[in-house]
C-alpha cells in the first residue's frame, strides 16, 4: 500500500515531526526551510495533507497547486492566512488547533496583570540597565481585594478568573452568550450589564475578534471607567480602540495597560511603545515550550487522522465539494447560516434553543441546514472555535436544544427555510428563500413581511406605526455621516412597523442610542453579515 504524504510547510516542535515520522502509513516531507516558491510549485502538488503556520499563505496560488490535498491543518488558532472559502470549493478540509495554547495565554494574562500593578518591567530596567537603586520610585498596588472585570468567559477567560480568585480578588464576568452558572459555580460574579465591568479596578478581555467585539472598549467606555483603571489585552488586537487607549494612557485616566496584541503586527513603531505606563510583548500568547509542543502534537495527530480518513477534528469548513451538491442547495446553506448569525447578533443573549424548519425539496438537506444554522448562531460568541464538525456537540454541551423540522410546503415559494432562535429573554424568527438559484433573500422577520438582502451593516428599528418616523430615522443616520444603501419596511396588524436599514459604514453605539431615544421606538438593534 502506498504511503500518504504529509507536507509540513512551517517550523513546528520536534515532537510533532517525530509523530509523523513514526507512522508507517505516512511519508512526511519537512519543507519548513524550503523557499516558498519551491514549496508551492514543487512540493505542495505531492501533498495529501499539509500542516501550516503563519509563515505560509494558503491563498489562490497555493490552492492551484494543491491538486491532491484533502486537508490542511493550521498549527495554531488563527486562520487569517487561510482562504477557507477557496478550500471549501475544492473539498479541502481546514482544521486548526484552538485549545493547545490555552494555559500559555492565561498565564501571560496574569504576567501582564502582575507586571502592571507592580510596574515590574520598569523597576527591573531601572536597576539592571540604569544601575539605580531607588525603591521609593516603585510603589505598586496589590491584586488582593481589587475588582476584576473579565469580558468573555470561555476557555481562557474562565481560567483567568479562577487564578484571580486565588489572589483574593473580587471577580465579575460579562459574557451574554454563556449560562451564568458557568461563572457562579466558580464563585465568580456574573453580570449582564456592561457598565458593571467598566466600574472595575482591572479589566481583561478574552473574546473572539468579530464585528461585535472590535473596538468594544472605546473613548466613551474609557471615560466611564474609574480613574487609574488597569486594562489588559492578550486576546486579539483591536478589541480596545487603540487611539482611545493611547489617549487614556497619556492622560492618566488609565494607570497602566498590559498589551500583547496590536491592530497591525509587527508593531515595532507603535506610539504606545513610547509610554512609560504600558507593559508590552510581541504577541507571545502561545509562546511557551509546553504550548508549542502541544500545538505540534495535536496538529500532527489531526493530520494523521485526516490523511487516513479517520476524522477531521476542529474542522472549520464542511468537507464537501460544491459539485457534489445540487446547484440550488449551497445558497440555502449559506443563507441559513447568515440567518443564524443575524438572529444571534440581534438578540445578544444566552441561547436556549434553535429550531430550523424547511419547506420544499430543500427539506431533503434538513440535517445540513441545522448544522449551518447552528454554526451561524454560535459563531457570534465563539468565533473560530465553532465549526461544522463540532457545532451540534458544542450546542449540546451548552444545553442548547436543536430542532430540525420538515413540513409540507404551502408557502407559495418553491423552497423556504425558517430559523427560530430562543434565548434567555427573547425569541426571534427569520425566514428566507433563494430566487433564481443564487439570489438570497430574507422574507420574514417575526410577523413582518420584508424583502431583505442578507448583506452588510444593518439596523433593525421596531416602532409604533406613526407619521414621520422614517424621516426621523433617516435624519439621525445622516447626522452620523452614514449613507443609507437600502431601506426596507414591514408593517403588522397591531399598529407597529419594522424597518431594516442597510448603511455604508460602521454602525456606532451613538447611532443606536439616538435611535432608541425616539418617541416611537420600541426596540433597536444592529448586525453585520
**Residues annotated catalytic, as ranges:** 236, 265, 283
> 289-308 and 14-22 are packed helices; what angle lies between their axes, rounded to 10 degrees?
30
Collapsing DSSP states into helix, strand and coil, what is residue 398?
A: coil
Tell me the pairing of strands 229-233 and 202-205: parallel
Q: Which residues contact 209 (CB under 8 A, 6 or more apart)?
A: 235, 236, 237, 238, 239, 383
Task: Return the closest-CA partner of residue 76 out of 286, 344, 341, 373.
Answer: 286
Integer Cα distance of 66 and 87 in angstroms: 10
CA distances from 8 to 68, 302, 434 (A): 15, 13, 41
Q: What is the CA radius of gyration of the chain?
A: 25
Collapsing DSSP states into helix, strand and coil, what is residue 321?
A: coil
Integer Cα distance of 361 and 341 in angstroms: 24
Integer Cα distance of 53 and 216 in angstroms: 29
Task: Tell me how crowded residue 308 is: count the other CB atoms within 10 A of its CB.
Answer: 14
Collapsing DSSP states into helix, strand and coil, what is residue 251?
A: helix
The x, y and z cell numbers of residue 128, run together, are 539592571
Q: Which residues contact 89 (CB under 8 A, 6 or more apart)?
A: 321, 322
The verdict on whether omega for the bond into residue 266 sits within 30 degrees of 0, i.e. cis, is yes
Task: Return the closest-CA partner of residue 354 out of 405, 419, 398.
Answer: 419
Q: Which residues contact 455 (CB under 8 A, 6 or more apart)?
A: 502, 529
CA dihedral 205, 208, 212, 214 (to 10 degrees): 70
Task: Tell me how crowded residue 161 is: count the other CB atoms within 10 A of its CB.
Answer: 25
Integer Cα distance of 469 and 476 in angstroms: 11
Task: Return the closest-CA partner of residue 423 out of 490, 513, 521, 345.
Answer: 345
Residues 405 and 420 sit within 8 Å (Cβ to Cβ): no
Alpha helices in 91-201 (DSSP H): 102-118, 120-128, 155-166, 181-184, 194-198
The x, y and z cell numbers of residue 220, run together, are 466613551
Collapsing DSSP states into helix, strand and coil, what is residue 303?
A: helix
Query: For the purposes of burial, counting CB atoms within 10 Å of the CB of 195, is it exposed (0-12), middle (13-18) or buried (19 or more)?
Result: exposed
Distance spanning both ends of the chain, measured CA to CA: 47
Amino acid at each position: 500500500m502506498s504511503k500518504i504524504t504529509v507536507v509540513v510547510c512551517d517550523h513546528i516542535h520536534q515532537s510533532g515531526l517525530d509523530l509523523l515520522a513514526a507512522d508507517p502509513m505516512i511519508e512526511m516531507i519537512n519543507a519548513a526551510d524550503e523557499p516558498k516558491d519551491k514549496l508551492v510549485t514543487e512540493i505542495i502538488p505531492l501533498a495529501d495533507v499539509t500542516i501550516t503556520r503563519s509563515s505560509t499563505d494558503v491563498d489562490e496560488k497555493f490552492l492551484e497547486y494543491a491538486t491532491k490535498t484533502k486537508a490542511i491543518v493550521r498549527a495554531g488558532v488563527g486562520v487569517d492566512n487561510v482562504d477557507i472559502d477557496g478550500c471549501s470549493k475544492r473539498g479541502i478540509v481546514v482544521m486548526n488547533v484552538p485549545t493547545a495554547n490555552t494555559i500559555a495565554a492565561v498565564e501571560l494574562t496574569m504576567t501582564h496583570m502582575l507586571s502592571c500593578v507592580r510596574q515590574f518591567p520598569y523597576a527591573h530596567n531601572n536597576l539592571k540597565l540604569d544601575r539605580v537603586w531607588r525603591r521609593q520610585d516603585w510603589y505598586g498596588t496589590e491584586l488582593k481585594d481589587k475588582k476584576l472585570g473579565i469580558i468573555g468567559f470561555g476557555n481562557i477567560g474562565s481560567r483567568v478568573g479562577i487564578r484571580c480568585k486565588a489572589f483574593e480578588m473580587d471577580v465579575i464576568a460579562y459574557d451574554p452568550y454563556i449560562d451564568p452558572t458557568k461563572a457562579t459555580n466558580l464563585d465568580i460574579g456574573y453580570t449582564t450589564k456592561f457598565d458593571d465591568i467598566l466600574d472595575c479596578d482591572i479589566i481583561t478581555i478574552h473574546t473572539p475578534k468579530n464585528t461585535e467585539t472590535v473596538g468594544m472598549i472605546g473613548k466613551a467606555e474609557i471615560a466611564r471607567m474609574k480613574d487609574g483603571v488597569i486594562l489588559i489585552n492578550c486576546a486579539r488586537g483591536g478589541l480596545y480602540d487603540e487611539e482611545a487607549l493611547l489617549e487614556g494612557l497619556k492622560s492618566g485616566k488609565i494607570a497602566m495597560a498590559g498589551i500583547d496584541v496590536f491592530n497591525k503586527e509587527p508593531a515595532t513603531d507603535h506610539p504606545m511603545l513610547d509610554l512609560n505606563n504600558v507593559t508590552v510583548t510581541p504577541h507571545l500568547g502561545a509562546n511557551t515550550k509546553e504550548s508549542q509542543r502541544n500545538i505540534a502534537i495535536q496538529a500532527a495527530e489531526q493530520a494523521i487522522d485526516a490523511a487516513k480518513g479517520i476524522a477531521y477534528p476542529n474542522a472549520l469548513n464542511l468537507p464537501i465539494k460544491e459539485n457534489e451538491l445540487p446547484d440550488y442547495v449551497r445558497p440555502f446553506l449559506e443563507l441559513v447560516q447568515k440567518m443564524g448569525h443575524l438572529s444571534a447578533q440581534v438578540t445578544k443573549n444566552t441561547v436556549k434553543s434553535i429550531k430550523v424548519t424547511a419547506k420544499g425539496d430543500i427539506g431533503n438537506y434538513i440535517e445540513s441546514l441545522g448544522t449551518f444554522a447552528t454554526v451561524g448562531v454560535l459563531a457570534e460568541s465563539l468565533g473560530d472555535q465553532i465549526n461544522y464538525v463540532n457545532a451540534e456537540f458544542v450546542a449540546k454541551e451548552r444545553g442548547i436544544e436543536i430542532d430540525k423540522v420538515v413540513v409540507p410546503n404551502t408557502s407559495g415559494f418553491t423552497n423556504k427555510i425558517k430559523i427560530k432562535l430562543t434565548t434567555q429573554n427573547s425569541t426571534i424568527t427569520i425566514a428566507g428563500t433563494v430566487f433564481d438559484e443564487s439570489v438570497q433573500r430574507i422574507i420574514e422577520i417575526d410577523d413582518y413581511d420584508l424583502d431583505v438582502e442578507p448583506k452588510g451593516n444593518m439596523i433593525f428599528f421596531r416602532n409604533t406605526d406613526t407619521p414621520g418616523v422614517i424621516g426621523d430615522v433617516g435624519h439621525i443616520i445622516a447626522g452620523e455621516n452614514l449613507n443609507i444603501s437600502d431601506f426596507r419596511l414591514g408593517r403588522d396588524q397591531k399598529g407597529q412597523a419594522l424597518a431594516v436599514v442597510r448603511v455604508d459604514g460602521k454602525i456606532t453605539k451613538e447611532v443606536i442610542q439616538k435611535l432608541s431615544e425616539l418617541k416611537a421606538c420600541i426596540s433597536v438593534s444592529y448586525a453585520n453579515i
